[in-house]
Structure 1
Amino acid sequence: MPSIQRLEPGQSLRARVERTLATAIISGELAPGTLLTVPTLAERFAVSATPVREAMLDLEKRGFVEPVRNKGFRVTAVSDDLLQDIVEIRLLLEPDAMARLAPVFPAGRLEEFRAQADAIVKGARAGDLTAYLLADQKFHLDLTALLGNAVLVETIAELRARTRLVGLVSLLETSMLDVSAAEHHELLDFLAAGDAAAAEDLMRQHIRHAVGWWAGKPEAAEGE
């Protein structure tokens, strides 16, 4: 069970429990088929049953868990076809967004994003998947937000929230997570240089990890 994170200002217990469990499910720390019970989780997180129950119902709506009569909730599996569909949509949106951002990337924000990329690398090296995923999400959504299209940010956030990366746990024993983390600094290099084509290509490669390394599978070659 992942360690619960420090409560951020304005964040409810319900939100904290949901975020922690969702991250564990996305990363594969809580594998498909795992049975979760409200009393056990409430004790684990040192909170009352109410925010846990509410969080589980939210996760059910997201398709992350399903109710098991008189037992609790079971972590659901996501089919390869659904994951591929989600990734295909992301490939239509995110690489193009980075290509459009490159010519207008604000140089004054570079160090801010370097710090975010450092947090991703730190999470990978520490084997802290919760920190890794949260920093990764903030980095990519904050970059996309620079384009000024709130609907695009919301759409990408939703797609990322539905992307399961169940192979991440197995990457902790390899160098692949470090390689993936380092790509964030590479992306910033291309954005800072105004290299739209390179930024687009790297973002496409980065997203494909979702059906490769991050899914516990070999990386597919370009065009496959």
Structure 2
Amino acid sequence: MPQIEETQPKCLQIAHHIRDQILRGDLRPGDEVPSERQLAADWNVSRPTAARSLEALSHQGLVEKRQGSGTYVRGLAVNRRARELYGRAKQTGKIYTPGEYAVITSAGWLEAPDYVAEALSLAAGSRAVHRQRVTKNESGPITISTSWFGADVGEQAPKLCDPDRIQEGTLMYVESVTGRQGSYAEDRMCARLATEDEAADLELEPGAAVLIVHHVVYDLQDRPLEFAEATYPPGRWAFEQGYPIS
């Protein structure tokens, strides 16, 4: 069992260890995770600390507590495109595949909309940095996406306000200049009708249905680092889910 380090709260170290087991596939959907009592014994921590670890995993959407039974790994619905883009940037230093390209349509400081401020834990009315892009390939638009960052990140990352592309990807650039490392992400999805601007950018008929993904990246201290809103046209949705059938 890994040793507790003093650089990070004990409950988060335990939660991150279990989270990594889940994301690697060592713990699969439906598997039971160690109980509070077992975690307390294995890590030599108090029961309340162990409980906070499981609460952190539950908040991240990775586990669910079943009354009278235990805590189990949830089936994970993953935004495959977001995961693949980040993985490609880590491996190759480039975020897009050959034939794909992004056009930055807006960049700079704006008052954060209420839902963005909430996602980034900002005070209402706070200014934030945004970058909006339309990603395309030979078949046409793939998605519209807007990344938002708090003022502390914006002040350290001046390229966010530059309309030129950031080759390694926005998040990789932010990590490199701020020292904050993305740790895990949460996605929330819904479908709705495209706005007039979205329909124009995605080359859709007015009133076409689109898929909206709100993507929040958290750092190693569980602080929100990036909020991204992506709009997918019909036929460009790429999501996957694995779960046991027995």
Normalised by the length of structure 2, the TM-score is 0.37
Flag the structure with more relative contact order, 1 or 2, with Cα contacts below 8 A and sequence separation at least 6: 1
Question: Could you tell me the TM-score, scaled by structure 1's length?
Answer: 0.40
Max Rg structure: 2
The structure in which a higher percent of residues are strand is: 2
Structure with greater proportional helix content: 1
